[in-house]
């Protein structure tokens, strides 16, 4: 669910897809699209919310599988798409080989700075490290901490005043796969793929 923090009193539902549309130029991207879309929406003034329990799943093991995009020839498209995401996020790009079509339209917003988001959730895009937020999210402590800063006018969370606790949690390197970065959303926060998808995690 995305809540608009703009000042207009009357708004129609579904405006997020108009103001922050899905990037037109990210073929062959599977890992990284969620983070790109979420950060773009957040910097445009939208808050991101998620239920505390999973209720929707991908049936990867179904008998009749639909065609998958990754079954098509890659021809370097995934690498160029990942470079486009990195450029939008201000990350170092190894090669200036990516689609720059309408990159401003599909870029970050000006309502809130990206650095605030990275600081609150313990993300370092330069070193590719992320704080493990799972324990705080599963316990509900993260939600309670953020909800304490809900705006009185009902327009989302005031991230300018969010308390950021000391970075005492263990940090994990973001898993790399073909020189990309794997970031996943869970309970409205970010964590690295190794801690989320590990078979040892009793919650999965």
Instruction: Give residue-wise pLDDT tens across range 79-99.
Output: 999 999 999 999 988 888 899
pTM, rounded to two decimals: 0.71
Question: Exposure of 36 by Cβ count < 10 A (0-12 exposed, 13-18 middle, 19+ buried)?
Answer: buried
Note the maximum CA span of the chain. Answer: 51
- Confidence check: pLDDT of 175 > 70: no
Instruction: Give residue-wise pLDDT tens across range 29-77.
Output: 888 888 999 999 999 999 887 776 788 888 878 888 888 888 888 888 9
Q: How far is the C-alpha of 142 from the C-alpha of 134, rounded, in Å?
A: 9
Instruction: Note whether 49 and 131 are within 8 A (CB).
Output: no
The helix (run of H) or strand (run of E) holding residue 84 is helix 77-89
Dihedral (Cα; 75, 77, 80, 81), 10-degree rounding: -170
Q: For the chain, what are the domain ranges? A: 2-52+74-197
Q: Confidence class of residue 11 from pLDDT cuts 50, 70 and 90?
A: low
The helix (run of H) or strand (run of E) holding residue 4 is strand 2-4
Most confident of 4-8, 142-146, 195-199: 142-146
What does DSSP say about strands 180-181 and 176-177: parallel, antiparallel, or unpaired?
antiparallel
Instruction: Give residue-wise pLDDT tens across range 95-113.
Output: 888 999 999 999 999 999 9
pLDDT on residue 183: 33
pLDDT on residue 194: 29
Angle subtended at Cα 13 by Cα 7 and Cα 14, rounded to the nearest 5 degrees? 105
pLDDT on residue 47: 87
Instruction: Give residue-wise pLDDT tens across range 124-157.
Output: 998 888 888 888 888 888 888 888 899 888 888 8
């Amino acid at each position: 669910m995305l809540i608009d923090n703009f000042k207009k009193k009357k708004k129609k539902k579904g405006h997020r897809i108009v103001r922050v549309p899905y990037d037109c130029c990210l073929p062959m991207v599977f890992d990284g699209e969620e983070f790109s879309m979420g950060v773009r929406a957040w910097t445009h003034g939208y808050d991101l919310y998620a239920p505390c329990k999973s209720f929707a799943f991908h049936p990867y093991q179904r008998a009749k599988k639909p065609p998958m995009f990754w079954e098509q020839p890659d021809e370097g498209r995934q690498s160029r798409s990942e470079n486009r995401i990195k450029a939008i996020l201000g990350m170092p790009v190894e090669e200036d080989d990516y689609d720059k079509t309408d990159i401003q339209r599909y870029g970050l917003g000006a309502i809130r700075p990206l650095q605030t988001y990275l600081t609150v959730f313990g993300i370092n895009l330069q070193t590719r490290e992320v704080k493990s937020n799972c324990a705080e999210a599963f316990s509900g402590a993260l939600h309670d901490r953020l909800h304490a800063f809900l705006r009185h006018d009902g327009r989302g969370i005031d991230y300018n005043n969010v308390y950021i606790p000391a970075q005492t949690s263990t940090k994990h390197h973001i898993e790399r796969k073909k020189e990309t970065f794997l970031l996943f959303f869970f309970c409205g926060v970010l964590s690295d793929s190794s801690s989320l998808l590990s078979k040892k995690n009793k919650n999965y």
